[in-house]
Amino acid sequence: MSQYEEKPCFLNGKYLPLKDANINIRTHALQYGTACFGGIRAYYNKNKDNLYIFRLKEHYNRLLNSSKILQMTMSYSYEEFENILITCLKKGEWKENAYIRPILYKSDLELSPRLHNVKDSFSVYIIPLNDYLDIEKGLNTCVSSWVRIEDNQIPTRAKATGGYINSALAKSEALQNGFDEAIFLDSGKFVSEGSASNLFLVKNNELITPDLPSSILEGITRRTVLTLAEENNIKFKERRVGRTELYTADELFFAGTGVQIAWIKTVDKRTIGEGKMGPITKKLHDQYFDIVTGKLEKYSNWLTAVYDK
């Protein structure tokens, strides 16, 4: 058992070691995928000896939106939510890059796949996490044979656990065929996103990303990248993207809390641009890492410092 299993998590209103946080096998969310969650990173800055949680308020707001879609009740205010996460991190004496997973789930033992009148519970756990995908080497990707779920099927906007079956199908297909990651098309055959990240391309110095109706999750990293593009005077557009636009792009990268900013080398065996990290990707990548680790004062309002609280 790893040392992290001894660190605290939050379940049923209590802090307890992760190894003891177990739930009943009849739990509604386990049976039907009726849960929504967040994926949040905290970065450790050695010089400042502090841990910074990135865009916590935005993650909380997205969880609230997810709960609305799934007819769930988030019973903790933002201040309480922040306090729970910080208490877990402080009690666990976290001083390394960490991934925080809050999850709101249907915890009743009811036998019926429905949303209303089923009790909700909230939990949080934390694991260490550095790179989820290799962000240096350039990823080899493929367009998935699996189509992204639609808003009217399992809403991608909700970050619902059950929706990740769709991601898992695409990811396994990609890995088992020798690729690093999948790119989804939506049901209209436009480009959507990766299995757990949003997608950006650069063409003629313009940054382009699929728009919200392209069955994407409203990514917080995506929004961050668009803000940085605006501030760097990089032209950008949110719009529909065709499959072969990917093949002819100058640069291509994934953006997400887990993947961070990960450049893509190939799609369906076509080399993107010159087959290396492009200049616009590099600029956004470098700025992103300076921001999340607390090196750029200008963006300190995006960070929650754990050990100043």
**Catalytic amino acids?**
159
Question: Least separation, in Å, of the C-beta of 102 and ligand PMP?
Answer: 12
Query: How many residues bind ligand PMP, per CB under 6 A?
Result: 14
Q: Which is nearer to ligand PMP, 180 or 193 (CB)?
A: 193
CA 278 to chain centre: 23
Choose between 34 and 166: whose C-beta lies nearer to ligand PMP: 166
Q: How far apart are CA 308 and CA 304, in angstroms?
A: 9
Contacts of 19 (CB under 8 A, 6+ apart): 1, 5, 6
Q: Kindly state the smallest distance separating residue 110's Cβ from ligand PMP, in Å.
A: 27
In whole angstroms, the minimum distance from the beta carbon of 20 to ligand PMP comes to 27
Measured from the CB atom, the residue of 219 and 294 that comes closer to ligand PMP is 219
Q: Which stretch binds ligand PMP (CB under 6 A): 190-198, 205-213, 242-250, 301-309?
A: 190-198
Among 34, 67, 161, 198, binds ligand PMP (CB under 6 A): 198
Nearest to 106 by CA among 119, 124, 123: 119
Q: Which two tokens stand for residue 305?
A: 């410092």
**C-alpha distances in Å from residue 75, one per residue of 72, 243, 254:** 9, 42, 33
Q: Residue 65 or residue 90: which is nearer to ligand PMP going by CB? A: 65
What stretch of H or E contains 192? strand 191-194
Q: Do 306 and 52 form a contact (C-beta atoms < 8 A)? A: yes
Q: Could you tell me the smallest distance in angstroms from the CB atom of residue 217 to ligand PMP?
A: 4
* CA quadruple 128, 163, 67, 219: dihedral, nearest 10: 60
Report the site for ligand PMP in 213-252 (rule: CB under 6 A): 217, 219-222
For ligand PMP, the closer of residues 29 and 220 by Cβ is 220
How is residue 191 written in tokens?
């480009």
C-beta neighbour count of 18 within 10 angstroms: 19
Q: Nearer Cβ to ligand PMP, position 72 or 261?
A: 261
Q: Which of residues 245-304 bind ligand PMP (CB under 6 A)?
A: 256-258
Q: Per CB under 6 A, does 155 bind ligand PMP?
A: no
Query: Stretches 94-102, 108-116, 189-197, 265-273: which one binds ligand PMP (CB under 6 A)?
Result: 189-197
Q: How many residues does the chain have?
A: 309
Q: In the bound complex, what is the minimum distance in angstroms from residue 200's beta carbon to ligand PMP?
A: 12
Give the alpha-carbon dihedral of 111, 113, 117, 118, to 10 degrees: 70
Question: In this chain, which stretch among 193-201, 266-274, 280-288, 294-302 interacts with ligand PMP, using CB under 6 A?
Answer: 193-201
In contact, 199 and 183? CB cutoff 8 Å: yes
Q: Which of 135, 196, 202, 264 binds ligand PMP (CB under 6 A)?
A: 196
Q: Which two tokens stand for residue 73?
A: 């009740």
Phi-psi region for residue 285, left (φ > 0), alpha (ψ -120 to 50) or beta? alpha
Chain positions 22 to 81 lying near ligand PMP, rule: CB under 6 A, are: 39
Rounded distance between C-alpha atoms, residue 192 and residue 121, angstroms = 31
- Residues of the shown chain interacting with ligand PMP in the complex, contacts defined by CB under 6 A: 39, 167, 193, 196-198, 217, 219-222, 256-258
